[in-house]
A and B are shown apart, each in its own frame.
Chain A
Amino acid sequence: MKKLRSVLSLILVASMVLALLSSCTAGADNDEDSPIKIAVAFPMTGDQAEYGQSFLLAAQIKVDEWNAKGGVLGRAIELVSYDDKNSSEEAATIAQKIVSTPDIVGVLGHFSSGVSMVAAPIYEENQVIEISNTASHPDYSSIGDYIFRNNAVISNEFEVIESLLTEDLKLSKVGIVAIKTDWGTTAGAIAADMIRNNDALTLVGHEEVVEGSDDYSLVIAKLKEAGAEAVISVGMYALIAPLARQYKAVDPDIQILGLSNSYAQQLIELGGEATEGIIFPVSFYSDPQNPEIKRFVDAYVESFGSEPSALAAQAYDSIGILLEAIKANGNLDRPSLRDTLNNITYPGITGETKFDAIGDATKNYTKLIVKDGNFVPYEN
């Protein structure tokens, strides 16, 4: 009996080892007919699901365009969608799954900087290219060679806001309201430094709020008391819309400034009249004059029902630049693909995109203002 058991267990172990080996070899051969896979890892359920779904759609529009032209390197392109629920734990698991699928060449994701920074070391170690269209934490792209960012580094956006405050609006007393996340704390601190280092500006208050509490009356009363003339909202439209509404109810003259990630149609829907006059920098806006942009916007609106955000446009461009790099490289060899990606200049709908040495794409900004319920370019 005992002998039988040990024989059986030996057979079991052997079969497991065999299964493991065979799965390895099955994955390793990149046969010419199978599609080239790109992972898309975003929150698809939960609080931030709308973002993930919109990025997946934007990415899919780009992939469809390429597939219609015959794919890349003669192979079809396929997106594999993962749901990280905007949680670091999930993202770590998903990153492991992605790196153990050998035919995935790159990842578009993850959504928040904090989550991206948990997953990034896993991609770096396994030579999988990660492009985030959303992370704006200063430290994200320096995590590794394979980690790229097709979004503004937050400090660049604040430079635009700084010139807006001092040159265009000529306001000096500035308050900051930031969401209490890793990103919000870092970005808020950068904004505070910017204001402190500029003699023309005075920092009258720097408050952190928990997103999802929806009540900002307490910080508003403090900032108003301190005499704030302008308030920088460091958060998504979910922060800036109610903040504007509650602030304008107390002080109708306040100038509210946002960041590029507040550019979404929902901002106006949610904030209503209170959003009038909000100004923020963007790398993309759906300019109907530009045929490239119009083509993307039309395809997007048809599926999604509302206009794409700047972040969705960056998702579209991120897939574009990755596919362009694969085409230019001519093969899927990871290190050379990485170098190619780092060297090409891609004319996207969010402007000319080129990654610098640490993997950041420099963005050019236009300033938008909310006027009569629409986003229009801001001119002084």
Chain B
Amino acid sequence: MMLQQLLNGMALGMAYALIAVGYTLVFGILRLVNFSHGAVYAFGAHMVVFFIGMNFGLLPAVVFGILLSGLLGVLIDKIALNPLRKKKSPNISALITTIGVSYIIQNLLVLGFGSGRKSFPKLIETRSIMIGDAQITNIQLLMLVVSVVLFLSLTVLVKYTKIGLAMRAVEQHETNAALMGIPTSFIISFTFFLGGLTAAIASVLIGSHYEIVYPTMGMMIGLKAFSAAVLGGIGVFYGSIVGGLLIGLTEALAATWFGAEYRDSVAFIVLILVLILRPMGLFGKKGLNKV
């Protein structure tokens, strides 16, 4: 059973890691914890369900859903966050704004789709792969592969491309970056676009694993993913993956040893302990001004 629980925990951790990448991306560039991420995540899954309902076919529906979520990310930035930046308001206002935005999105989803749980189509036929007497499904493996691919491509994008260079420049000093001729507002929008994309990719994969979507689906899992990002060192891509796995495995062990009702509390206790010992997270850089 132990092996099965570890595999379950790993699968859970991959789900957290997928979402955590989005938190870390926006934080890494803008120094902003984007709490609307969980709502964009739910939005992405709902859009895919909507487009499938409109007979778009599975693949186009997934692509449209993901792109639309990216655009939603841009929209959030343009409508809610850009005005705050212009007024040089403190970071905490932007953070609280993203919490507000997440409630707006969730309630719009309730208006449009109802609050109930709806079934999400399977992306691929589920197959179980046996490892010893434990099993893991192919979708869970796909989640693992996608989060690693996502982490690799984002790392390459930020580190080795021109737009990545611009993103890092904005991170270091927005005004100076603008003086160097970098279109900062485009770069920031682009970052939010990427954030939205990753949220939707995560929701499509996780949605097809659990085969459930509902407007508040991003709440709890978003919070866990945020913890995973913080645990790994927010702003560091591989940190989110390690953080996600750690939280997933902790939950699995806590559920096995103490009972399922303790899994959340134990996961958060581990988070707090790590932060006491290493305030910047496991792989975080020193000197970050966290909000």
Q: CB within 8 Å of B: which residues of A? A: 45-50, 180, 207-210, 212-215, 217-219, 221-222, 224-225, 237-238, 241-242, 245-246, 249-250, 266, 269-270, 272
Contact = CB atoms under 8 A, between A and B. Distances in A.
A215 B1 contact: no
Nearest to A306: B116
A50 B212 contact: no
Nearest to A49: B115
Contact of A45 (B12, B110, B264): B110
A48 B110 CA distance: 10
Contact of A219 (B12, B15, B135, B255): B255
29 contacts: A45-B107, A45-B115, A46-B110, A47-B215, A48-B115, A49-B115, A50-B116, A207-B260, A208-B259, A208-B260, A209-B261, A210-B264, A213-B221, A214-B217, A215-B8, A218-B255, A218-B260, A221-B5, A221-B256, A222-B5, A222-B256, A241-B117, A242-B211, A249-B128, A266-B116, A270-B118, A270-B119, A270-B211, A270-B212
B256 to A, nearest CB: 7
A237 B116 CA distance: 10
B119 A210 contact: no
Given A218-B5, A218-B260, A221-B8, A212 B119 contact: no
Contact of B12 (A215, A238, A241, A246): A215
A266 B214 CA distance: 13
User: Is chain A's binding surface mostly helix, strand, loop or mixed?
Assistant: helix
A49 to B, nearest CB: 4
Interface residues of B, number: 39
B259 A207 contact: yes
Contacts of A237: 117
Interface in B215-265: 215-217, 219-221, 251-252, 255-256, 259-261, 263-264
Given A45-B110, A50-B114, A249-B128, A219 B260 contact: yes
B195 interface: no
B210 A214 contact: yes
B17 interface: no
B126 interface: yes
A217 B139 CA distance: 14
Nearest to B15: A215
B110 A208 contact: no
Given A214-B217, A272-B211, 15 more contacts: A45-B110, A46-B115, A49-B115, A50-B115, A180-B261, A207-B261, A210-B220, A212-B220, A218-B263, A225-B1, A237-B117, A238-B117, A241-B117, A270-B117, A270-B118
